[in-house]
Amino acid sequence: MSLSNSRQRYGLVARSLHWLTAILILSAIPLGLYANSLPYDTSEALAAKARVFSLHKTIGVAAFLVALARIAWAVVQPRPAPLHPDRRAESWLAEVVHWSLYLSLVVVPLSGWVHHAATTGFAPILWPFGDDLPFVPESPAVAEAAGAVHWLFTKVLAASILLHVAGALKHAMVDRDATLARMLTGREAGADGPRHGRGAPVIAAVTFAALTAAALSLPQGADAIGRALEASPAATETATAAGNWQVVEGALSFGVRQMGAEVTGTLPEWTADITFDPDRDTGNRVAVSIDTTRLTLGSVTDQAKGGDFFDVAAHPIARFEADILRTGDGTGDGYEAAGTLTLRGVAVPVVLPFTLTIEGDLARMTGQATLDRRDFGMGASYTDEETVGFSVIVSVDLTATRR
């Protein structure tokens, strides 16, 4: 039994790689669809969804590595000639679909992996390579774009597989020739016929573009791309509504343990109204309005925005109103903002300790507070702390200039 290809046969290596790829891809597709469709309304449901996603990603990464090996092997090996070179249109179509398959075999798992590497938390890949990819930053915008590409090209891949399998079955059942047997058993068939046409990659690119456009025209495709375009880089948009300090730069983030891993979220859009005079002890105040619809929380952003957690549809704005008080003996840089945080309509007393340094007209503050999500009725059905931690660490860093 020969390992390598000839112009009449597929060798053992090419056939093994072909069927291994087919098994992995045909497992990854239903797992991806199933994982996406699973609910996540309780701790148990979320844990089960994460397990299926982990399996999907692990199989997907395996498919990617096998596909790379398969492509490398195809490059150095002769390709068996078509059995009916006289049927030009059919040979071209088969060729075009092969190219489309090869392209999708790279784009689909790679975009999935980039999506995964750009987000934090939820459903790890079970291979021991780590979850990150070099050159892929943790960024909601990158994750959103990669997710849209992944969604889109799974449709291109699925359409190519349907055409490919239909062709293989037509050869086996209508033409009753050895095309399928060549790939299944390594049987030799055909003559050292003409080489594959050189124009195929060009036609493949056109077909690929047409399939992509068709997938894009599906409502979910347009939606996915729209969301990707909307997801601006994690810019911190702050403005000062009133008060005597103007926030020029700032970041509001929060961290929570999820499925045993630390996940960091951002709230990039907020305004702060600060009235503060370091020389007086009373009358110093801050009022912060936070746009919760812009929050990000790694790969579980949608869940975090949902009714169980921030419930952004019903409560798009969170507010923190507090008095600014000096702590310690009143001579250091220790302060606290003591007031009320209203989140998803629930008002809870919150004290945020922070340090403040003022140099001329420039003030820098950094502070952290630990909240309990249950105080705000968040994730009430997630009673298991292992799945979604109860403590949420809120961090604020900002620089402001005196008006």
Binding flag, residue 295, ligand HEM (CB under 6 A): no
Among positions 17, 28, 142, 394, the unique one binding ligand HEM when judged by CB under 6 A: 28
Q: How far apart are CA 80 and CA 85, in angstroms?
A: 11
- CA end-to-end span of the chain, whole Å? 82
- Residue 269 CB, shortest distance to ligand HEM, in Å, is 22
Question: How far is it between the farthest Cα atoms of the chain?
Answer: 95
- Residue 208 CB, shortest distance to ligand HEM, in Å, is 13
What tokens appear for 272 in the block? 């702060």
Binding flag, residue 9, ligand HEM (CB under 6 A): no
Binding-site residue total for ligand HEM (CB under 6 A)? 45
Binding flag, residue 11, ligand HEM (CB under 6 A): no
Q: x/- binding map, residues 177-216, to ligand HEM, per CB under 6 A?
A: --xx-xx---------------------------------
The vertex-284 CA angle with 283 and 287, nearest 5°, equals 115
Closest to ligand HEM by CB, 115 vs 373, is 115
Rg, the chain, Cα only: 28
CA-wise closest residue to 287 among 269, 271, 268, 266: 271
The vertex-219 CA angle with 24 and 114, nearest 5°, equals 40
Closest to ligand HEM by CB, 105 vs 392, is 105
Q: Do residues 234 and 266 touch, judged by C-beta distance below 8 A?
A: yes
Alpha helices in 241-351 (DSSP H): 301-305
Closest to ligand HEM by CB, 180 vs 225, is 180
From the centroid of its chain, how far is CA 320? 31
Which residues of this chain interact with ligand HEM, rule CB under 6 A?
18, 21-22, 25-26, 28-29, 32-33, 36, 56-57, 60-61, 63-64, 74, 79-80, 82, 94, 98, 101-102, 105, 108-109, 112-113, 115-116, 125, 147, 150-151, 154, 157, 161, 164-165, 168, 179-180, 182-183
